[in-house]
Structure 1
Amino acid sequence: MMTAVFSNSGVNDETRRRLLYQGEVFVYSASPATTELISFARELISDAFGGFDPETAQHEMPVEDFAKLLADLKPRFIHHPQCKKLLPAVIEERGCDLGQTYFDVPRLRTSTSNDYLVSGISYAFHPHRDCWYSAPFNQVNWWLPIYAVVPENVMAFHPRYFDQPVRNGSAGYDYAEWNRTSRHNAAAHVRNDTRVQPRPEEAIELEPQVRVVPEAGGTMMFSGAQLHSTVPNTSGRTRFSIDFRTVHLGDVRAHLGAPNVDADCTGTTLRDFVRCNDLAPMPEDLALEYEAKALAGVS
Structure 2
Amino acid sequence: MGTNNTVYVDSDKPDDLRRRHLYDGQIFLFTPTATTTALCDFAAQLIEDAFAPLAPATAQFEMPVERFVEIFAPLKPRYMHHPETRRLLRQVFADFGCDPEQTFFDVPKLRGVTSNDYLTAGVGYAHPPHRDTWWSAPLAQLNWWMPIYGIESENSFAFHPRSWSEGMKNHSEDFNYYEWNAVGRAQAARHTHTDNRKQPHPPANFDPEPQLRFVVPRGGLVVFSSAQLHSTVRNTSGRTRFSTDFRTVNLADLRAGLGAPNIDSQPQGTSLRDFHRASDSSVIPEEVVAAYDHGEHPEGGVLVFAPPSGPSA
Q: Over residues 147-203 of structure 1, what are the superposed CA-to-partner deviations in whole Å (9 max), with x where a residue is unaligned?
A: 000111011000100111111110000001110111111010001101010001252
Q: Which moved more, 1:198-207 or 1:61-70?
A: 198-207
Distance in 1 between the 2:182 and 2:203 partners? 25
Partner of 2:34: 32
Q: Distance in 1 between matches of 2:101 and 2:276?
A: 10
Select 2:129's aligned residue among 127, 130, 147.
127
C-alpha distance in 2, partners of 1:105/1:69? 20
**Matched ranges for 1:66-145 at <5 A:** 66-145=68-147
1:179-194 → structure 2 map (5 Å cutoff): 179-194=181-196
2:50 is matched with 48
Amino acid in structure 2 at the alignment position of 1:200: P
8 Å Cα contact 1:168/1:202 also seen in 2: no
2 CA distance for matches of 1:161 and 1:92?
32
- Structure-2 residue corresponding to 1:228: 230
Structure 2, unaligned runs of 5 or more: 297-313
Report Cα offsets for 1:48-104 as digits up to 9, x if no partner: 001100001111111110011111111111111111211111111111111100000
Shift of 1:287: 1.2
CA RMSD of aligned residues (A): 1.0
TM-aligned CA deviation for residue 289 of structure 1: 1.4
Aligned length: 294
The AA in structure 1 aligned to 2:162 is: R
**Structure 1 residue 275: deviation in Å?**
0.3
Runs of 4+ with deviation above 3 angstroms:
none
**2:57 aligns to what SS in structure 1?**
coil
Q: Percent identity?
A: 51
Which amino acid in structure 1 is aligned with residue 251 of structure 2?
A: L
Amino acid at match of 2:109: R
Q: CA deviation at 1:34?
A: 0.7
- Write the distance in 2 (CA, Å) between the matches of 1:255 and 1:269: 16
- In 2: Cα distance, 1:211 partner to 1:201 partner: 22
Structure 1: tracts of 5 or more residues without a match: none
Look up the equivalent residue of 1:192 and give its one-letter code: T
2:65 is aligned, of 63, 66, 69, to 63
Distance 1:192 1:202 in 2: 17
Which of 136, 140, 148 is 1:146 aligned to? 148
Q: Displacement of 1:218 after TM fit?
A: 0.5
CA distance in 2, matches of 1:84, 1:247: 16
Does the aligned pair in 2 maintain the 1:140–1:246 contact within 8 Å? yes
Query: 5 Å matches for 1:138-177?
Result: 138-177=140-179
Shift of 1:205: 1.8
Give, in whole Å, the separation in 2 of the partners of 1:104 and 1:250.
17
- C-alpha deviation, 1:133, in angstroms: 0.3
SS of aligned partner of 1:184 = coil
Aligned to 2:299: none
Q: Which amino acid aligns with 1:97?
A: D
Structure 2 residue matching 1:56: 3-state secondary structure: helix
The alpha carbon displacement at 1:291 in A equals: 0.7
Distance 1:220 1:210 in 2: 12
